[in-house]
Amino acid sequence: MASPPTSCACLLGPDPAPYRGVYDVTSVFDPPSLGPSNPNAPLGMADVTPDGQLRLVIHFDRYDTLTMRGILANGDFPVTGDFIYGGDVFFEAVGHAATTASGGRRISGSADIRGFGGGTVGTVTFALSRPLAGTPGAPGGSYAASFPDSPSDCGCASGATFDLTVPPDGFATFAPATDARPDPPVVGTFAAGTCLVAPGGSVRCTSPYDPVSESGRAAQCAQSYGGACPVTLHGALPVPPAATGGGTYASPPPPFVAGSWSVTR
């Protein structure tokens, strides 16, 4: 009798397309030290690649991400995957998952994280879930964001108003926004961007940011990326009864610009 595959992710269902969307996430790392030091608003997404593979991406926080993908065939498929730890350390990930669609869509499973020598350094167990109806439209609307340390690297506080559009699949967009000091001189602009919005309010947004100043770390980043610095905001939107949401933001190094943000409706 043939041995079971040692490198697979197992999905129950012939068509990966219905699983496309943004998900709430719970996870457990073994050992715990393998996981994020400061877990913040985890969320996941599933989509279908042009060659028909189902791709799962779990953002445990701003830095730590698990990616798994493979071809769905008779419920099982071998996958290639990786785990990014701390934003810059890459490990191979090999795992198994299963889906259900009873009362909502759910993808659950586990992945072994393999070190540079090929041995397993730990395991992450995860569960992704979302309603059958998709992400509620309620998170859409206008948000006032505050940055205690501006993404412009001006050494000052700033703020911007984002108009967010959230479709049922959770792959959201927002309009361009002006980043200004309370004075209020403009210190930079966010171009139109994209967001992952989970049903429970976790959010991860990316936008090219153009600082007004021609000096400093944000300006150096913008020059390196053709005129605008890619900034990622990760955190949670305010979900009643909470009146305020927030999280962290960062640009890719070098140079490295990072800070926190809060948001109200």
pLDDT, tens digit (0-9, with 9 covering 90-100), for 97-153: 877 778 898 888 888 999 888 889 999 999 999 999 888 877 889 999 999 999 999
pLDDT digits 0-9 by tens, 222-259: 999 999 999 999 999 998 777 899 999 999 887 889 99
- Both tokens of 132, joined, read 């059958």
pLDDT digits 0-9 by tens, 46-82: 998 888 778 899 999 988 999 988 766 555 555 668 9
Asked whether the predicted pLDDT for residue 264 surpasses 80, the reply is yes
pLDDT band, very low/low/confident/very high, at 165 (cuts 50, 70, 90): very high
How many other CB atoms sit within 10 Å of the CB of residue 182?
Answer: 10
- Both tokens of 191, joined, read 């171009």
pLDDT band, very low/low/confident/very high, at 3 (cuts 50, 70, 90): very low
pLDDT digits 0-9 by tens, 18-52: 889 999 999 999 999 888 877 789 999 999 888 87
As a whole number, mean pLDDT of residues 171-198 equals 95
The contacts of residue 88 (CB under 8 Å, 6+ apart) are none
Distance, CA of 139 to CA of 190 (rounded, Å) = 20
pLDDT of residue 208: 97
Distance, CA of 130 to CA of 19 (rounded, Å) = 9
As a whole number, mean pLDDT of residues 186-190 equals 97
Question: Which has the closest alpha carbon to 261: 220, 205, 219?
Answer: 205
Question: Which has the closest alpha carbon to 211: 147, 150, 152?
Answer: 152
**In CATH, what is the architecture of 141-264?**
Beta Barrel (2.40)
Residue 9, helix vs strand vs coil: strand
| Sequence ranges of the domains in the chain | 9-130, 141-264
The contacts of residue 178 (CB under 8 Å, 6+ apart) are 160, 161, 186, 189, 190
pTM equals 0.88
The contacts of residue 14 (CB under 8 Å, 6+ apart) are 72
pLDDT of residue 250: 93
Cis amide linkage into residue 31, ω under 30° from 0: yes
Question: Which has the closest alpha carbon to 260: 179, 160, 147?
Answer: 147
Helices (H), the chain: 217-224
- Both tokens of 239, joined, read 């979900």
How many other CB atoms sit within 10 Å of the CB of residue 243?
Answer: 9
pLDDT of residue 8: 40
